[in-house]
Structure 1
Amino acid sequence: MHTFYIAPTSFGVGLTSVALGLVRALDSVGLRVSFCKPIAQQHASDQGPERSTQMIQQVMGFTPPPPISLERVEDLLGDNKRDMLMEEIVEQFDRAAIDADVVIVEGLVPTRAAPYVTGLNGDIAKTLDADVILVASGQEDSLSEVADKLEITADNFGGIQHRKVIGYIINKLSLEQVQQIEDSSSEVFDKLPEFRRKQFHPIGYIPWNEDMSSPRTKEIADLLQTQILYKGDIEQRRVTGKVLCARTAANICHLLKPGKLIICPGDRDDIILATCMAASNGVPLAGLLLTNGIEPHEQIMNLCKKNVQQHGLPILLTQLNSYNTATTLDRLNNEVPIDDRERIELVMNSVADKLNGEWLKERCGTEVEIRMSPPAFRYQLIKRANQAKKRIVLPEGNEPRTVRAASICHERGIAECILLGKTDEIHQVAQDQGFQLPESIIIMEPDIVRGRYISPMVELRKHKGLNAPMAEAQLEDNVVLGTMMLAQGEVDGLVSGAVHTTANTIRPAFQLIKTHPDAKLVSSIFFMLLPEQVLVYGDCAVNPDPNAEELADIAIQSADSAAAFGILPKVAMISYSTGSSGTGSDVEKVREATKIAQQKRPDLLIDGPLQYDAAAIENVAKKKAPNSPVAGKATVFVFPDLNTGNTTYKAVQRSADVISVGPMLQGLRKPVNDLSRGALVDDIVYTIALTAIQADQFSSRK
């Protein structure tokens, strides 16, 4: 499935018309096309639903998801909840993308009231990992100025050179501009070297078509709230121009042409008679608009009545004077009305005819590196956790961030959380933070339930000489108590670490949960939510110095975990050397681990040793590892030891202000996950969601 994000260079480029044309063009070349308008941007005169979505529904026969209101967007941005906004947009997109080969996503138009949408367009395109098509207008700019605007707008998406900025469409061109572009000697766009880039493609040049912006006479009547003296063909007649009559009839006869709206005061008998005569001669005028609230003389109307009725000339009356009428008409919204099926079809077909649909089809068939964006990753976490419906125990039940996270998880249906702690104390923590716990949250008091886990724990650890008093003492630790609940199958997963160390969290799991039969060791990964994509780092929390065999297992576990969460695994075995350039015991360990992993799992893309820059950056990869299937494209980074892994993850997290989710433990029979002691509430929520998904995967293996 492919995604095209349509973004304007400025206000008034005809973005909706181009989006509609793209849908028709791609549909015409045999692709299953869907459409998504993530955020509604209503015109001031709009009274009904968002127009792009409704027009697509009428013409194409499918129903795009309803867009988010601009008011909600501004509320979320004002509350610093940009991530939540992106998750909602991903949810919309996923609904639109069902069974589609390609999705057209219509972006936002920058206005004085909403200048922030320029940056928002860039964020949404990155989130959806979309190809970006820029849309400009030649109506008020020279071609040189259009080229400059395209280059400036491209900077919001990484620049014209960015692999995702694939081309441009120029709308509303004059015939002279079209001729200039078609002239082979023209160097308007070649003046910028970036425009010569093969992938930055001219997708379409669309000439101005008066009919595409011609309103029906009906829209004029609605705008001015006119009295309709004669309805005529008011639903079908279109206004291609306006004639404001101040001169005598003899001096305006040459202006009485098809599509013209004749405007004059109601006492101008000569203009009224001339207009009706033109109509009787077969001229399909748009209508006669009478001003100043003056109705024509009854005898004049009787004289014209037969011709008017026979030839369908609409006659309207407004209370405004002629000047104010003309001024108001200049403010008419030229966007296509939702119920104007004829004009919608005209726009779609006219624009589609000028677009290079075959090139776009080829682009859809081109393999493009698929990247999981952070909002998409978070959205998928929440969605899959909702479906899993698992019970997660939280041993740090009175810790404020944990209490808040548990509340959010219940409100959003992420998991059924069980807080370990004293009921009064936990409710007081919630009250101190200004919220009430949902009634569905379960609070278990350790002092009340501890006794029932003593015997089962003795049974699990009797080979280590554990007796009842020792078990009771260990169960004083809520992490141990929660782990026993997991071991007994009373809960599906455990999350801890907001106040406990990693060792405190995972030691009971090693002792009571044990490793999975298919795993030789327990390891960990972090999901690193970089600005444009999610990467997997392993092992950064558990194994201090794994040997080659263990490192190979960590690589395989990490690849499988990445795939389980929707990230295409391309595994880079990290070292201080790339390929065969370095020697030493450390690099040899990585080299051997790579061979072992490749032999065990030939279905996976695994390469190493690779330096971090060679694994992550395409330009560096071309120089250091040009033949590597992973270099420059790695999504899973496996570090040679804990010292390297932990240092790297923290350096990236703190220096780049990156959210990290984890560590997620791999290799246990049941999911236990650790938190950073600096974890934010959102970090805990996503870790709970991640744990619920793991639990669902474990149960499906049985």
Structure 2
Amino acid sequence: MARIVYLVELGPDSGKSAVALGLAELLSRKVPGIGVFRPVNPASDDVLLELLRSRYSIRDERLFGVSQAEASQMLAEGRAEELVGQIVERFRPLAHQHDAVVAIGTDIDDDLAFNVRLANEFGAVVVAVVNGSGADEAALDSMARQAYHALTDLDATVAAVVLNRTPEAVAAPKLPVPCFVIPHVPTVAAPTVAEVAAHLGASVVTAGADPHTALGRDVLDYVVGAAQVPALLTHLTPDCLLITPGDRNDLLVAAGAAHASGLVPLAGIVLTLGITPDPAALALFERLNPGLAVLTVPTASYDTIESSTRMQHRLSPANPRKVEAALGAFESNVDTAALADVLELTASARVTPLMFEYDLIDRARADKRRLVLPEGTEERIIRAADILIRRGVADLTLLGDPAVIRARARDLSVDLGAAELVDPATSPLRERFASVYRDLRAHKGVTLDLAYDVVGDVSYFGTLMVQLGHADGMVSGATHTTAATIRPAFEIIKTVPGLSVASSVFFMLLPDRVLVYGDCAVNPDPDAEQLADIALSSADTAARFGVTPRVAMLSYSTGTSGAGADVTKVAQATAIVRSRRPDLPVEGPIQYDAAIDPAVAATKLPGSAVAGQATVFVFPDLNTGNNTYKAVQRSAGAVAVGPVMQGLRKPVNDLSRGATVKDIVNTVAITAIQAQGS
């Protein structure tokens, strides 16, 4: 039977959606498949359900019991028992199809008893969410106790109480069950400029060269512009939305200049009264290139700000940055291990791709390391850094001109305040790094002057940071070639003693399992000794990341069915692996179909401990490996995470130049975990 967690909101505007997201994230790390359910669906376009459906690959067609209108009508007609029966009937199939389900309680008529009744009918434990905004520590303690007793008095099985949106981090009240305090995070609760525009029915006058970014800025405050320019400049606040009459061209230009110059970052500008700005003033504003959206509305300034301040942001798939911020707040303030214990959640022996990816984040956060990202001015790196900081995955050092990085981050509405920014060109470390590099490469004729020039390169500077302990690992390659990333590591960090080669693996995230492919990125044509080293490194990497290693040494022949130099190389490599690691299940030479398909294995290699159930696939050469991983990635819809370097004394990993933000986050998490064991 599925583990059911029922989320109950006590008081309006508690931020229940963010807590539901956090619970779903926790459950998805423990079990292969989760479900979500709303007993009463508040809207036909429920963005929370769509967010959870898309993020956790939930395929159920119906995620709710009844609509709000149906529930209200049945209650008005005195058919409460029929309503409960109908909801439970629609919930039961969902519970049988999943290992765990998050049920998001209804706020219909603020009926706590109705929610508890449903939770008990579902066989669920209850997590209470209380709006703690504006309350001091004493008030929060009282609110937590009242929530707990209100639920237990109705015979609810309370698993935990969450005080959400509190003014600041305070000690959690002592209750018979775990109690967690999540402080208010402005970026989670704040609407975006696009959401304000939709709420007001505004038209977009201009949104610069990047409308997605301009309209995606968070609105943390509202400022009405009515005074002269000097007064306005003293009243602008960070990330505010300026609301001013459309004929105030002076304020439009002044606000654009204040943002573009870095004086104060704005969210956007709303022009009221239906007046569009003078074309000359608008042209000047656009020449400033502030990257701000300018909206126009027909209403007056007072009515516009009154309407704006009544709206609330809703978490949705359209804004992944806010989703990550909400998860960061949840994970930073909720002891997820303790919550998993009280929910009686144990990790499944089966590891799905989603569980694998989330486990990376968990393991990296458990023992934080500092990683250096040499491509600090690249947009994808900045966006990934924002997520990594919010989720507490690693401490980060970004290389590049700090002024350029900050300006780019401001343009992207990203906060990198917790990151260290270092410019190799001006860093006081450069002279020391040059001396170290000169000593390492003196046998190649490298002089101190040449070394000084070389270490000004971000890849070399970052690699030396790792070598000399200023960082625990490095991730690069979003804009640099593989050679530019890996060559400094080979020159400076070098391979682990006893290994003939450094190599790489890809984690192949298939719909129902995680496989390890090596080497698909580094060694063109390894000999038998090198192939054995690749196999041993790949097995160790698999084990480190929770994949039980069963190694298939791939060839075009299985067992003794074929002959030739390539088959002989694989056979020799297999023998070396067995001699060095008698405990490691390894089979070779073996064809791919015999390695992965139990039916084929029963025919070609009956009785093998690896055939038909291999998890680590070692390819005989780079040509075979690279083509195979790409074929599986494209034809089977697999997610390829990597290449992950192995065999270096300290972790350095290379990104594809087409890497997405998600790829970068995963690679940084992997590198952090490698650093934990180095």
Report the TM-score range of the alignment, normalised by the length of the smaller protein: 0.5 to 0.7
Residues 72 and 490 of structure 1: CA distance in aligned 2, closer, same or farther (over 3 Å): closer
Unaligned stretches of 5+ residues in structure 1: 7-35, 49-67, 77-83, 95-102, 127-139, 141-148, 158-163, 165-219, 224-336, 345-367
- The C-alpha deviation readout for 1:243-291, integer Å capped at 9, x for no partner, is xxxxxxxxxxxxxxxxxxxxxxxxxxxxxxxxxxxxxxxxxxxxxxxxx
Aligned to 1:388, which of 342, 364, 367? 367
- Opposite residue 386 of structure 2, the aligned amino acid is S
- Opposite residue 373 of structure 1, the aligned amino acid is T
- Opposite residue 565 of structure 2, the aligned amino acid is S
Verify: 1:40 aligned to 2:10, yes or no: no
Q: Which residue pairs with 1:617 in the alignment?
A: 597
Partner SS state of residue 443, structure 2: helix
Q: Distance in 2 between matches of 1:69 and 1:644?
A: 51
Q: Which residue pairs with 2:478 in the alignment?
A: 498
Partner SS state of residue 372, structure 2: strand
Q: Distance in 2 between matches of 1:383 and 1:469?
A: 44
Q: Distance in 1 between matches of 2:154 and 2:387?
A: 45
Q: Which residue pairs with 1:404 in the alignment?
A: 383
- Is the CA contact 1:486–1:493 (under 8 Å) kept in the aligned structure 2? yes
> 1:370 offset after TM fit, Å?
4.2
- The C-alpha deviation readout for 1:66-117, integer Å capped at 9, x for no partner, is xx9984599x6xxxxxxx98643245x48xxxxxxxx9x9955697849989
- Is the CA contact 1:527–1:660 (under 8 Å) kept in the aligned structure 2? yes
Aligned to 1:88, which of 21, 26, 29? 26
> 1:396 offset after TM fit, Å?
0.9
Verify: 1:515 aligned to 2:495, yes or no: yes
Q: Which residue pairs with 1:275 in the alignment?
A: none
Partner SS state of residue 40, structure 1: strand
- The C-alpha deviation readout for 1:466-486, integer Å capped at 9, x for no partner, is 111221222232101111111
Q: Distance in 1 between matches of 2:422 and 2:563?
A: 56
Q: Distance in 2 between matches of 1:117 and 1:459?
A: 54
> 1:465 offset after TM fit, Å?
1.9
> 1:535 offset after TM fit, Å?
1.2
Q: Which residue pairs with 2:567 in the alignment?
A: 587
Aligned residues: 406
Verify: 1:427 aligned to 2:406, yes or no: yes
> 1:397 offset after TM fit, Å?
1.1
Greater Rg by CA = 1
- Opposite residue 693 of structure 1, the aligned amino acid is I
Verify: 1:441 aligned to 2:441, yes or no: no
- Opposite residue 478 of structure 1, the aligned amino acid is V
Q: Distance in 2 between matches of 1:40 and 1:506?
A: 49
> 1:644 offset after TM fit, Å?
0.7
> 1:47 offset after TM fit, Å?
7.0
Q: Which residue pairs with 1:374 in the alignment?
A: 353
> 1:503 offset after TM fit, Å?
1.2
Q: Distance in 2 between matches of 1:109 and 1:338?
A: 23
The residue correspondences of 1:172-211 to structure 2 (distance < 5 A) are none
> 1:538 offset after TM fit, Å?
0.5
Aligned to 1:631, which of 611, 633, 657? 611
- The C-alpha deviation readout for 1:438-480, integer Å capped at 9, x for no partner, is x221110111123331111111111222111221222232101
Q: Which residue pairs with 1:692 in the alignment?
A: 672
- The C-alpha deviation readout for 1:364-418, integer Å capped at 9, x for no partner, is xxxx994322222222211221122211111111111111112221221111111
- Opposite residue 502 of structure 1, the aligned amino acid is T
Unaligned stretches of 5+ residues in structure 2: 61-81, 83-90, 100-110, 115-150, 159-346
Q: Which residue pairs with 1:681 in the alignment?
A: 661
- Is the CA contact 1:41–1:108 (under 8 Å) kept in the aligned structure 2? no
- Is the CA contact 1:493–1:670 (under 8 Å) kept in the aligned structure 2? yes
Q: Distance in 2 between matches of 1:602 and 1:510?
A: 30
Aligned residues: CA RMSD: 4.0
Q: Distance in 2 between matches of 1:666 and 1:338?
A: 53
- The C-alpha deviation readout for 1:203-258, integer Å capped at 9, x for no partner, is xxxxxxxxxxxxxxxxx9x88xxxxxxxxxxxxxxxxxxxxxxxxxxxxxxxxxxx
> 1:566 offset after TM fit, Å?
1.3
- The C-alpha deviation readout for 1:282-329, integer Å capped at 9, x for no partner, is xxxxxxxxxxxxxxxxxxxxxxxxxxxxxxxxxxxxxxxxxxxxxxxx
> 1:659 offset after TM fit, Å?
2.2
Partner SS state of residue 448, structure 1: coil
- Opposite residue 409 of structure 1, the aligned amino acid is L
- The C-alpha deviation readout for 1:614-667, integer Å capped at 9, x for no partner, is 222223322332222112211111111000111111222233333222111111
- Opposite residue 424 of structure 2, the aligned amino acid is P
- Is the CA contact 1:107–1:121 (under 8 Å) kept in the aligned structure 2? no
Partner SS state of residue 383, structure 1: helix
The residue correspondences of 1:272-311 to structure 2 (distance < 5 A) are none
- Opposite residue 40 of structure 1, the aligned amino acid is Y
Q: Distance in 1 between matches of 2:480 and 2:653?
A: 12
Q: Distance in 2 between matches of 1:540 and 1:675?
A: 13
Q: Distance in 2 between matches of 1:622 and 1:116?
A: 44
> 1:518 offset after TM fit, Å?
3.2
Residues 87 and 553 of structure 1: CA distance in aligned 2, closer, same or farther (over 3 Å): farther
Q: Distance in 2 between matches of 1:86 and 1:509?
A: 39
The residue correspondences of 1:513-552 to structure 2 (distance < 5 A) are 513-552=493-532
Partner SS state of residue 677, structure 2: helix
Verify: 1:666 aligned to 2:646, yes or no: yes
Q: Which residue pairs with 1:569 in the alignment?
A: 549
Q: Distance in 2 between matches of 1:118 and 1:694?
A: 30
- Is the CA contact 2:28–2:34 (under 8 Å) kept in the aligned structure 1? no
Q: Distance in 2 between matches of 1:106 and 1:658?
A: 20
Aligned to 1:416, which of 375, 395, 399? 395
- The C-alpha deviation readout for 1:19-72, integer Å capped at 9, x for no partner, is xxxxxxxxxxxxxxxxx43x5377xxx979xxxxxxxxxxxxxxxxxxx99845
The residue correspondences of 1:123-272 to structure 2 (distance < 5 A) are none
Q: TM-score, structure 2 length as denominator? A: 0.54
> 1:600 offset after TM fit, Å?
1.1
Residues 464 and 544 of structure 1: CA distance in aligned 2, closer, same or farther (over 3 Å): same
- Is the CA contact 2:500–2:529 (under 8 Å) kept in the aligned structure 1? no
Q: Which residue pairs with 2:466 in the alignment?
A: 486
Residues 687 and 122 of structure 1: CA distance in aligned 2, closer, same or farther (over 3 Å): closer
